[in-house]
Amino acid sequence: MTQLSEETASNRGLSRAEVDERVAAGKVNDLPDRSGRSVADIVRANVFTRINAILGVLFAIVASTGSLINGLFGLLIIANSGIGIIQEIRAKRTLDKLAIVGQTEPMVRRDGQVVALPPNQVVLDDIIEIGAGDQVVVDGEVIEALALDVDESLLTGEADPIDKAPGDPILSGSFVVAGSGAYRATKVGAEAYAAQLASEASKFTLVSSELRSGIDQILKVITWLLIPAGVLTIVNQLFISENGIRASLLGMVAALVPMVPEGLVLMTSIAFAVGVVRLGQRQCLVNELPAIEGLARVNVVCADKTGTLTENGMRLSEIRSVADDPQPDLDDVLASLAAHDPRPNASMLALAEAHPTPPAWSVSAVEPFTSAKKWSGMSFRDSAGHDVGNWLIGAPDVLLDPNSEPAAMADELGATGLRVLLLSRTDVPVDTEPAPGAVAPGSAVPVALVVLEQRVRPDARDTLEYFASQRVDVKVISGDNATSVGAVAASLGLGSAETSVDARSLPTDQRELAEVIDNGVTFGRVRPDQKRSMVKALQSVGDTVAMTGDGVNDVLALKDADIGVAMGSGSSAARSVAQIVLLDNKFATLPYVVGEGRRVIGNIERVSNLFLTKTVYAVLLALFVGLGGLFGELFGYGSLSYPFQPIHVTISAWFTIGIPAFILSLAPNNERARSGFVRRVLSQAVPNGIIVGLCAFVTYVIVNPGGAGVEIGSKDAVDLSPVQTQAATATLITLIAVALYVLAVVARPYTWWKVVLIAVSAAAYVIIFAWPWTQHMFKLDSSNMQMLSVAFISAAVGIVAVEAVSRVVPRIAARRTDREMA
């Protein structure tokens, strides 16, 4: 029965004046932005970065020499910051808009009426009504309780629901698993526990990401490499080659700038932000950005049947009597059960639709439905106060003797995909504690089978076929009858009713459980704690698991899965713990979500190869030239100045990395992501970088004219001599030609637009090196055919070496993977 505290039994909620008074006093449940960062924070985070700081210092050094054309790379600071800011603000606005659409609106009493309000409009002392599936939005004190059970496992780790009575405290972040009630808000805004959870769970951030942590590791190593490379270069330029301070500084900057993977962080941010916007266009709310990366790694999807494969709505098909004795009008019983349920589920809504006119009965006892016990019940009295029965409705395979005729009939109906409930009558009030070993109170007598039709989602089959084509296993996990679950899945080409597993027979040992789940496809009669155990068992054998669901019974599994996906129409508790919410309630949206994750991660890995190849060859070239100049001076072979000016390394990156990387980062990519990002990228980038750097150095050694390299008496005392310019041009041609082939390898497999991209990039460099205006602008001279011949031969050798590496490294990696799996 409903329990009321004496002081609030007739509470009508706050008046308009009382609400205004609390708003004026700041006692409002103000919540942080969904994205977690203001526009100012976004601007600050994109401007003040490690990359921008390095480039800024190098630009200041170039500016001090007076050769501003060599400071063209400084535009990267503006590009990195500007594009990052624009994309992140765009993604923030998308998130904020979707968050409003998918926002949980608590039911609040105001002036005697119950209204749905956004959480940020709840004020101190508001009376908030709650029922099964609702999440508690602010801390409070219970004032009404109707068999109210609250799960606080998300806060305390305590698995068992806690019965709440008037006067008990209730914490935000917990959720109702059974019953209904109301509570008064005692802590709102930043003081409430929910605000602390939201600030940690919903930030626009890329934390807990293998991708981001890998990139950060690489950047830290590069930062330390800059110091010795810079010192060696400036010593060689200033003291060995005797180029003068300004020329030496330009040589140092030219050596250091290509070491900085300036676009890598930018491309990562853009890829994630564009992913958020694209998913937002499909009504998909990303609560946590790492979910995009996680989706790319998913190889098992655990899907709840109801609300995922089937639509939430049901229709009453028939009522089959199984009672031996005459019973009251069953239409009246079913109508009363549906009418007096304060929080009806899909089954009760179907009964209410079929029997909209209940008799004038009152409820004398009630027992709410829970996923653990699989039944609910009510005891009724008529208008004269006479008992008209204690009625239970729930799962036939729980309430019936499995060897009975009604049980066989229920199994037969369930095997066709229908949902079957048993209506029983018991001899004691339904809220009586069942006897030890019993599942229901008193002596329950079966009365009728209530048969419901479930509507299969029209897009479910195509979705399952997509996952099969992508080698993603789908496990259907449901609290419904195992045979019924198997039949529904079989109608979609997944498993069969005969092989469906009844979760009541599942082993408790995690290893054995993982084996059963791996071999099975559909599972019925799964308790909420079992869903959680099944997810953990799959994770224990190395699977990356996505869990989809919409009910309160899915919350624990959604939370523990690598990626939790909730339906927008699901319970507020499910939506709050999921990383991704499908606001359109379409299971068919999930392939697009997975595809977007794969696009983001696959493309970032692809372009990372380009950026890190440049870093490797820049470091090696600086070391080769520095050490070559040092040993040349010691052994009398002549000095060896750094071949390039900053403008040279700037243009070398335009069409080998910058523009192609941006386009490739937004391209389609359906390859499933794997762990080991850093190792995999470096296994390609390091050998490619060595090849590019070595070929460029060999070219330079052969064509190097010796001497300081600076034209004495030039206007700025920073220009290269004509012969040195020709040598630099030849070396640059070798470097760009081999780097272009690295781009061609990274772009595989080819499509028409990739071929066009590579062709346009090559053509752009032909123009830059052949057109007199661009030669003058970028300090190039390609008139020395002897040097160019050396450049072309070195480039050809480098291209062959890159092709060989592209064929050998994947085979070595595959053998290593096979050994690890063995």
Residue 515 CA to its chain's centroid (Å): 27
Whether the CB-CB separation of 633 and 639 falls below 8 Å is answered with yes
**Does 749 sit behind a cis peptide bond, omega within 30 degrees of 0 on the bond before it?**
yes
Please report the pLDDT score of residue 713 as a whole number: 37
Query: pTM above 0.95?
Result: no
What is the distance between the alpha carbons of residues 420 and 415, in angstroms, rounded to a whole number?
10
Q: How far is 777 from 749, CA to CA, in rounded Å?
A: 36
364 three-class SS: strand
- pLDDT of 70 reads 65
SS3 652: helix
What single-letter DSSP state applies at residue 672? P
- Beta bridge partner(s), residue 610: none
Max distance between CA atoms of the chain, in angstroms, equals: 118
CB 614 within 8 A of CB 304: no
Q: Exposed/middle/buried for 100, CB within 10 Å: 0-12, 13-18, 19+?
A: exposed
Amino acid at 671: E
User: Helix (H) and strand (E) counts for the chain?
Assistant: 28, 22
Q: What is the pLDDT of residue 274?
A: 77
- Residue matched to tokens 């752009």: 764
Tokens of 558: 């959604």
* DSSP3 helix / strand / coil % (the chain, rounded to 5): 55, 15, 30
How do the domains of the chain map onto residue ranges?
2-30+103-201, 44-88+205-278+594-707+714-821, 285-307+457-590, 310-449
CB atoms within 10 A of CB 699: 27
Query: Choosing from 304, 543, 554, 562, which is the catalytic residue?
Result: 304
Grouping H, G, I as helix, E, B as strand and the rest as coil, residue 703 is: helix
The domain 2-30+103-201 is placed in CATH, from the list 2.70.150.10, 2.160.10.10, 3.90.1150.10, 1.10.238.10, at: 2.70.150.10
CATH code given to domain 44-88+205-278+594-707+714-821: 1.20.1110.10
CB-CB contact of 564 with 313 (8 Å): no
Ranges of beta strands (E only) in 213-309 are 284-286, 300-303
Tokens 């950005």 belong to residue: 289
Distance CA 496, CA 578 (A): 29
Residues β-bridged to residue 424 = 392, 446
Pairwise CA distance, residues 196 & 202, whole Å: 10
* Count of Cβ atoms closer than 10 Å to residue 209 Cβ: 21
Provide the CATH number for the domain formed by 310-449 in this structure: 3.40.1110.10
**With contact defined as beta carbons under 8 Å apart, do 118 and 29 qualify?**
no
Q: Which CATH class is domain 285-307+457-590?
A: alpha beta
Question: Can you give the pLDDT at residue 121?
Answer: 87
Q: For tokens 């929910």, name the residue.
A: 194
The rounded distance, in Å, linking the Cα atoms of 273 and 288 is 12
H/E stretch holding 453: strand 445-456
Phi, psi of 721 (to 5 degrees): -65, 160
Residues of the chain with pLDDT under 70: 1-10, 31-37, 65-77, 79-80, 83-84, 87, 91, 94-103, 153-160, 193-209, 230, 234, 236-252, 254-255, 262-263, 288-290, 312, 326, 629-639, 672-675, 705-720, 813-822
Segment 78-114, tens digit of pLDDT: 766 776 677 677 767 766 666 655 567 888 998 888 8
Indicate if 304 belongs to the active site. Answer: yes
Cβ atoms of 530 and 506 within 8 Å: the answer is: yes
Q: Which residues contact 439 (CB under 8 A, 6 or more apart)?
A: 373, 375, 398, 399
